[in-house]
Amino acid sequence: MKRSIKSKFTLLLLSSFLICNHLQGQAADSLKFISLPPQQFQQSYLKQRSATLADVREFFEYKKSRIPGAINIPSSGDLKKSSAHMDKNCALFLYCTSGFRSKRVARFFHDEGFLKIYSLDGGITAWKKAGMAVEKKHVKRR
């Protein structure tokens, strides 16, 4: 009987440790934006009533290929100016090549007061690998 209580206590202690460790290991960014794999990213975008899809790569990358319907907001550009012209209540879907720049830009937009921000996990590389559509039609800089 004593051994059973000790085993249960050990199991409870271990479970508590694992749960706390998982929560502590959760990136603070997950509270600022949601990172989604390609299919979920697309589904979430399509479900929104009002959303902006933004490619945060440089223009020379954007003009080669992009997700259909995406606008270009380069991460190296004036993000403050871009954010001033956008609705903060509108869902914002961001992507880049690998997901690194879009996460950095997502943090910026969160700090600017945007409420619904999504980042494409793995970027357009993962998007293409998943067989999702890309647009290659020539575009001119605005």
Does the pLDDT of residue 94 top 80, yes or no?
yes
138 in a domain, yes or no? no
Q: Does 66 share its domain with 123? A: yes
pTM score over 0.75: yes
Given CA atoms 115, 124, 137, 77 in this order, what sign does their dihedral have? positive
pLDDT of residue 53: 98
Classify residue 99: in a domain, yes or no.
yes
Tokens of 118: 């999504």
Task: Give residue 83's pLDDT.
Answer: 94
139 domain residue, yes or no: no
- Report the alpha-carbon distance of residue 121 to residue 115 in Å, rounded: 19
As for how many domains the chain has, the answer is 2
- Whichever domain contains 112, its CATH number is 3.40.250.10
pLDDT digits (tens, 9 = 90+) for 2-58: 556 655 544 444 444 444 443 444 455 567 999 999 999 999 999 999 999 999 999
Distances in Å between the Cα of 103 and the Cα atoms of 3, 14, 26, 138 are 49, 33, 15, 27
CA nearest neighbour of 79 among 51, 50, 101, 48: 101
State the residue range of the domain holding 41: 32-129
**Together in a domain, 20 and 58:** no
